[in-house]
Amino acid sequence: MQKQVKFACPLDCFDACSLIASVENGRVVRIKGGRDHPLTRGMICSKGRQLLERLYHPHRLLSPFKKKGRGWSKISWDQAICEIADQLTTIKQDYGTRAVLHYADAGYGGIIKSVDELFFNCYGGVTVPRGSLCWGAGMAAQKYDFGAALGHSPDELGDANVIIIWGRNPADTNPHLIRYLYQARKKGAIVILIDPIRTATANLADIHLCVRPATDGALALGMANLIIERGWMDQDYIHDHVLGFKRFRAYVRTFSMERVSGITGIDPSDIERAAGLYARRKPGCIVLGIGLQRYGNGGGTIRCIDALGAITGNIGIPGGGVNYANRRIAPYLAAAIAGGCGPAVNRRSFSLPQMGEFLNNAVDPPIRCLFIAKANPLVQMPHLHKTIDAFDRVPFKVVTDMFMTDTARHADLALPCTSVLEEEDIICSSMYSPYVNYSARAVEPPAGVMGEYDFFRALARKMNLDNYPFMPPLDFLKQAVGPLLEACHSDFGSLMKGAIKLPGTDTPWQDNSFSTPSGKYELYSEIALEAGLPPMPNFKAPLKGPPGFDLRLLTPHLKTSLHSQGFAFVDDPPLAHVNPLVLAEKQLAGKADAQVVSPNGRLQVRVKPDAAVSEGIVMIYEGWWHKSGAVNFLTDDVLSDMGEQAAYYDTFCNLEPLD
């Protein structure tokens, strides 16, 4: 007979879906959506279905492997633990703990695998990244404006009369949002999509503004100027709760409709229509995408858009807000992850998007060990040629993963890890869903696979780390969520029975008490000024490509994969979406294959004529592995204006015939 086990999807996307595993004779035979979850309600996407494929895939790592010359040999866990312990002990004695670089990202969204951070804190403080490959510029921007990035509960979309989806494609990447969009439209809400690509979400929108890449900030400032000129702003809200309005008003006066139209490529009448609908049909909600801030001017763009919510009084009201992320849970978990030793005080940090540059130049001490978990940086990092060369020069490298990823292939030790179906865990999303989910173990891990929690506990014992908290995994989970459950007036038993909603998630800033120095929404930020940034929302003209590279490369997320995880089973070359007019201009019309060339490298692609992609753009979904052709062999390791964010979308390229 089958048993049904409730677990949660660990992928770091917007939704953190509740799922059900059907288990028969100790094997998972089916995965379906959990219908009783208040947000995800039984829905499961193709990425979630891949969890079963990954669980029993023949290429899954089922034992530790050690590199021998150009090949690999199986070793025991005892051998792996002994070698890692010896290396870490020697490095600590000879160079200090900061000679170890620990990089763990969001390839798995549960709490139990954060034990790696706990271990390295107890080890003594190591080198860790700061900044972001994903969303750092937008997070920094909203911290200047609001004091934190907090999002509205998804069901509040039903209260909105106007919804602006700005640079986001929920039809592909946030499917549970679509139900709320339909509900809002049935109530009469107007949906506006702003995006340089006519994505699948455009089919749900009443208006699509096809903005030129990296000009969204100018569009927002032009809308703000019009709102102020026409008297559509909320003067009482501005007077009581907004700092710096007079300075902002003086700045946006220069963004006339004619100027903004010339910058963005959008007709003045369409700009006026969008501004009027948003300002005059309150409440108005803005839902921001992550791609908006992957330009050199990305953080400034988010601040310009945030300002629209402030001057119209669409902040702190149901159905309003400028929704980018929902950073509520991290403060509750910090103490458990730090462990009994407290936060590491000996850390050194580097700018994550420039990992290759840092590895090449690190001194006092140089990096002697890389430890990579929950990440595939040799696919996701910009400027891969530089990053791989620097990575290979580090003397000792360890990677934990379910598969022999491109990063694992360049390591000295590749350690297998457990699937979410083989661990008990607590899972949540910091992007959209306000719910915390209990995830039960469905099956035991296969012979030869040790979970990260057990591995780091064994490694700490081998190294005699007396300050390491040697507690059972369930006790660790209970300790980790204790402060959160207390804030929710709940307990662990209740969490095991069903999802718990994070406190205060319905309407952020409802009390108009912002987490800024002034306690107000800050159009003028002294903190930004102290950081060497413009104190107000500011538009910086987009970069232009160097001679011979006249196309901008956009690399958004694919519907069927979270970053590189879904590409483990793909051997095809990347698909380049290009406007037919561009293909004709490049004399590639009718060609099935071409190469995309940037100042950093070249990539063979299949060509897909696609009128949904604006002229001047080549769009290739990110995540392809080296065997197919990783897009980040083309990108550069430049940073955004704030948040030390990878400015992937400031990569310029050309399309050429195959040699």
The whole-number average pLDDT for the span 45-61 is 92
| Other beta carbons less than 10 A from residue 461's beta carbon | 13
Confidence of residue 221 (pLDDT cuts 50, 70, 90): very high
Residue 192: pLDDT over 80: yes
Helix (H) or strand (E) holding 284: strand 284-288
Q: Are 343 and 76 in contact (CB under 8 A)?
A: no
pLDDT digits (tens, 9 = 90+) for 81-99: 999 999 999 999 999 999 9
Mean pLDDT in the chain? Answer: 93
pTM of the model: 0.94
User: In Å, how far are 313, 432, 558 from 565, measured between CA atoms?
Assistant: 41, 21, 11
Mean pLDDT of 353-371: 97
Of 566, 632, 652, the closest CA to residue 46 belongs to 566
Those residues whose C-beta lies under 8 Å from the C-beta of residue 459, and which sit 6 or more positions away, are 81, 84, 85, 119
CB-CB neighbours of 291 under 10 Å: 23
Average pLDDT over residues 417-428: 93
Q: Average pLDDT for residues 420-434, to the nearest whole number?
A: 85
Check pLDDT > 70 for residue 345: no
More confident residue, 570 or 273: 273
| Alpha-carbon span 228 to 313, nearest angstrom | 12
Q: Tokens 């995830």 identify what position? A: 439
Distant-in-sequence, close-in-space partners of 133: CB < 8 Å, separation ≥ 6 = 105, 352, 353, 380, 381, 382, 645, 646
User: What pLDDT is recorded for position 341?
Assistant: 47
In degrees, to the nearest 5, what angle opens at C-alpha 593 toward C-alphas 591 and 596? Answer: 115
Q: What is the pLDDT of residue 333?
A: 67
C-alpha of 86 from chain center: 35
pLDDT category, 343, cuts 50, 70, 90? low
Measuring CA to CA, which residue among 268, 264, 298 is closest to residue 131? 298
HSE-up (13 A, CA, CB side) for residue 116: 24
Model pLDDT, residue 647: 97
Instruction: Provide the CB-side half-sphere exposure for 525 (13 A, CA).
Output: 30
User: What share of the chain in percent tops pLDDT 70?
Assistant: 97
Q: Looking only at Cα atoms, what is the longest distance across the chain? A: 72
Q: Where are the beta strands (DSSP E) in 52-109?
A: 65-68, 71-74, 100-104
| Most confident of the ranges 15-29, 316-330, 406-420, 471-485 | 406-420
Average confidence (pLDDT) over 104-119: 89
Q: Dig out the tokens for 647 from the structure.
A: 């400015």
Is residue 16 within 8 A of residue 429, CB to CB? The reply is yes
- Nearest CA to 437 out of 483, 499, 488, 503 is that of 499
Report yes or no: 384 and 378 within 8 Å, Cβ to Cβ: yes
209 Cβ contact partners less than 8 Å away, ≥ 6 residues apart: 192, 193, 194, 195, 219, 266, 270, 271, 274
Counting beta carbons within 10 angstroms of the beta carbon of residue 472, is it exposed (0 to 12), middle (13 to 18) or buried (19 or more)? exposed
Burial string for 564-585 (b: 16+ CB within 10 Å, else e) reads bbbbbebeebbbbbbbeebbee
Cα–Cα nearest to 35, from 498, 609, 582:
498
Alpha helices in 151-267 (DSSP H): 170-173, 175-186, 216-229, 235-241, 245-252, 257-264
Q: How much is the pLDDT for 604?
A: 95
pLDDT at 488: 84
What is the mean predicted confidence (pLDDT) over 614-623? 95
Q: Residue 340 — very low, low, confident or very high, per pLDDT cuts 50/70/90?
A: very low
Q: 128 has which bridge partners?
A: 349
- Give the lowest-confidence range in 174-178, 273-277, 493-497: 174-178
144-164 pLDDT tens trace: 999 999 988 888 888 999 999
Place 338 in a pLDDT band, splitting at 50, 70 and 90. low
Nearest Cα to 543, choosing from 353, 296, 330, 375?
Answer: 296
